[in-house]
Structure 1
Amino acid sequence: MLNVVLMNPEIPHNTGAAGRLCLATGARLHLIKPLGFSLDDRQVKRVGLDYWKDVDLQVWEDWPSFQASMLAQGSRMFFLTTKTDAAHWGMSFQDGDCLVFGCETRGLPESLLAEHPDSCLTIPMLKGSTRSLNLATSVGIVLYEAVRQVGLE
């Protein structure tokens, strides 16, 4: 199983859309608090439609708790950022990998990226075209590349 991790998501519809992507691929969705909305928010449920109840969802109080649990399971972590040149499609993904995405307005903390420079990946874009992509779009791009490599079960 692949793991999609949203650290401090702020926009409910992005989380709902990521949940649907996870459900469609058999991935687990991890949300790291604080969240910028309530999981009972109608926008999360609207985007997730009647699928939201079926999403394999884990909510974590903080990053250290999540990281300790996943590392104990032997999961590798990949941090998606615009602050690297390493393309996501150059990585050989494996079952159990964690795809970690930051919040919509700030991305991942600089300190986290600095701690894991060899695990940072980006979605290549034309220079000067845009600063970044929508969070749910980014999740879909990277998740489906990982699924292409690992396969659906």
Structure 2
Amino acid sequence: MRIALYHPDIAGNTGTILRLAACFGISVDIIEPCGFAFSERALRRAGMDYAAAADVVRHADWDAFIATRRGRIVLLSTYAAIPLPSAVFASGDTLLFGSESAGVPENVRDAADLRVRIPMRAGFRSLNVAISAGIALAEGLRQTGGWPE
């Protein structure tokens, strides 16, 4: 299982997701451009020293990411019809998260093999992307038996 971030806007969120990935031994795809200068300094505060241990693959754009695609793309979106508890994950899935400010464009949404939403109480728009990544990854690892020993 992998996490992919499409045009991430906020270094702190990206750093937090890199820390999450390092702790659980999964890879992260960064689909550029980023809304911040992608540097160790920018990511250090949220990622701490864990971010350096994450397996990160940077892609110049969406087409470069698709060219190296592995397994299914599972888009997490507030607009998706399938609630997380009903989604069925596979170990080769890539969990794709859009930018904090704009999500993903239609062509990216259409390329997803599965579109999943995290159910929330009525009246709330969305969760922080790093929180969403942790929730979705936990469910995916639970289903696939991918938790580290």
Alignment of 1:1-20 (within 5 A): 2-20=1-19
TM-score, length-normalised on structure 2?
0.91
Deviation string for 1:30-80 (max 9, x for gaps)?
10000111222534111111112111100000111111211xx4x111111
- Write the distance in 1 (CA, Å) between the matches of 2:88 and 2:94: 13
Q: CA RMSD in A?
A: 1.5
- Write the distance in 1 (CA, Å) between the matches of 2:134 and 2:108: 22
Shift of 1:85: 2.2
- Percent of residue pairs identical: 37
- Aligned residue identity for 1:126: R
**Tell me, what secondary structure is at the counterpart of 1:78?**
strand
**Gap runs ≥5 in structure 1:** none
1:122 alignment partner in structure 2: 117
Is the contact made by 2:30 and 2:58 (CA closer than 8 Å) also made in structure 1?
yes
**Gap runs ≥5 in structure 2:** none
- Count of aligned positions: 147
**Tell me, what secondary structure is at the counterpart of 1:139?**
helix
1:135 alignment partner in structure 2: 129
Is the contact made by 1:78 and 1:99 (CA closer than 8 Å) also made in structure 2?
yes
**Tell me, what secondary structure is at the counterpart of 2:90?**
coil
Which consecutive aligned stretches of 4+ in structure 1 deviate over 6 angstroms post-superposition?
Answer: none
Is the contact made by 1:31 and 1:58 (CA closer than 8 Å) also made in structure 2?
yes
- Write the distance in 2 (CA, Å) between the matches of 1:60 and 1:112: 15
